[in-house]
Amino acid sequence: MTGGVGAHEALTVTGLLAEIAEIGRDPVRGGYSRHVFDDGDRALREWFTARATGLGLDVVPDADGNLWAWWGTPGPDSVVTGSHLDSVPGGGAYDGPLGVASALAAVARLKARGHTPTRPLAVVVFAEEEGSRFGVACLGSGLLTGAVDPDQARGLRDAAGTPLAEVWAANGLDPQRLGPDEQALGRIGCFVELHVEQGVDLVHRGVPVALATAILAHGRWCVRAVGQGNHAGATPMDARHDPVVVAAKSVLAAREAALARPGARATVGRVSVVPGGTNVIASVAETYLDVRAADDETVRAVVAGITDVVRAAAEAEGCTVEVVEESFAPAVVFDAGLRDRLAAVLGGPPAIPTGAGHDAGVLAAHVPTAMLFVRNPTGISHAPEESAAAEDCERGVDALVRVLEELV
């Protein structure tokens, strides 16, 4: 172990977040763009490794791109906490990093108290939780658990056309070893993820920390419309086969289909047009669709409604269209026994659902899993304005320390 007790006491979540505040800043979008194994992500991995090693933890990467920092010998029935360090394009400072920094700060506080765990404890950083580089959310935890097919993963390409297998190999990982890791998964006795709240429930309740009950069902689809590229000035309006018209219909259809089912959410957050010239009728237009609802059936129904609309629009425009599922995560209900145990330790904080996906949701199908939420004063997330008060972040660490003391 390096560093004395005093050094451990000085390690705070706000101080840790300040250390990484300049890594991966996006000068165009604002906020942060940190994607798996880009320069910012590698710098964050180095930072995490240095900080965890400084706490006396043994840092071990796995073949799926995740990092594990162990306190004690890795073994069965381990307590695991952590989150992710990557971001959406132009994301905020807290989504992911707050959970990692809080886990490190909690371990530092336990060590400063002279705590000796009776179960192995690990802090984990999951790879590509946001799916912003290769299009698959919770990629690292999904590969670990088998929720993501390794052959599919190896074939993924980023926006520059670089294959995932090539990126993994360039960062010292063997892409042929991608996939389920039964040994690593078998070590996890329970998993607790701390995360900034992505909503304002805690603001309305006037409390800084809550427990999670469930995660909405969540999927991503690509709507790909193909038409005929042509000259914007020389082609009459009634002689066009414009896929952007179909794409526009998909955006409006997403809104209408979600509004028709209370509690559903549908978003088109990315549009790609080929060739992308202002004076050119496009030949291809892709819209990327995110749909969420309380249950799997509602998500499927919303997507079916959108699909019907875009197929009719494509036929009317003389285009072809396909709707391709990129990922789907069923609704998750967190382990009630673990949640009740944590609630007792924390004095009965509120328990709330979340509309955001998390690595904890992927692990929940395999191990007892819980989540802690820290109040977000505006509710804004996935944007530069994402925030959390310093005192609430420290209260989150207080809660995580009490939870880890109970579990280990």
Q: Residue 8: its pLDDT value, please?
A: 57
Which CATH number is correct for 217-329, 3.40.50.980, 3.40.630.10, 3.50.50.60, 3.30.70.360? 3.30.70.360
Residues in contact with 127: Cβ distance below 8 Å, sequence separation at least 6, in sequence order: 36, 64, 65, 66, 84, 86, 139, 140
- Residue 239, pLDDT above cutoff 80: yes
Q: How does pLDDT run across 302-323, given as a tens digit for each residue?
A: 999 999 999 999 999 999 999 9
pTM, full prediction: 0.85
Q: Residue 9: its pLDDT value, please?
A: 54
Q: Helix crossing, 390-407 with 97-112: angle to 10°? A: 60
Residue with tokens 């209408």: 256
Residues in contact with 74: Cβ distance below 8 Å, sequence separation at least 6, in sequence order: 60, 68, 120, 122, 187
Residues in contact with 398: Cβ distance below 8 Å, sequence separation at least 6, in sequence order: none
Sign of torsion over alpha carbons 50, 56, 62, 64: negative
Distance, in Å, from the CA atom of 26 to the CA atom of 9, rounded to the nearest integer, reads 32
Domain 5-216+331-407 is found in CATH 3.40.630.10: yes
What would the two tokens of residue 167 be? 């990126």
Label residue 254 left, alpha or beta by phi (over 0 means left) and psi (-120 to 50 means alpha): alpha
Distance, in Å, from the CA atom of 258 to the CA atom of 340, rounded to the nearest integer, reads 33
Residue with tokens 């089912």: 261
Q: For residues 205-231, b (16+ Cβ closer than 10 Å) or e, as one string?
A: eeebbbbbbbbbbbbbbbbbbbbbbbe
Instruction: Name the amino acid, one letter, at 53.
Output: T
List the one residue out of 8, 11, 13 whose CA is nearest residue 389.
13
Distance, in Å, from the CA atom of 51 to the CA atom of 44, rounded to the nearest integer, reads 10
| Domain residue ranges of the chain, discontinuous segments joined by + | 5-216+331-407, 217-329
Tell me what percent of the residues of the chain surpass a pLDDT of 70: 98
Q: How does pLDDT run across 276-292, given as a tens digit for each residue?
A: 999 999 999 999 999 99
Q: How does pLDDT run across 42-95, given as a tens digit for each residue?
A: 999 999 999 999 999 999 999 999 999 999 999 999 999 999 999 999 999 999
Residue with tokens 């030949």: 283
List the one residue out of 312, 316, 383, 372 whose CA is nearest residue 345.
372
At 193, which helix (H) or strand (E)?
Answer: strand 188-196
Q: How does pLDDT run across 327-374, given as a tens digit for each residue?
A: 888 899 999 999 999 999 999 999 999 888 899 999 999 999 999 999
pLDDT band (50, 70, 90) for residue 11: confident
Residue range 207-216: mean pLDDT, rounded:
95
Length of the chain: 408
Distance, in Å, from the CA atom of 129 to the CA atom of 272, rounded to the nearest integer, reads 22
Concatenating the DSSP letter of every residue in 119-168 gives: S-EEEEEES-SS-TTTS-TTHHHHHHHTSS-HHHHHT-B-TT--BHHHHH
pLDDT band (50, 70, 90) for residue 2: very low
Q: Residue 10: its pLDDT value, please?
A: 66
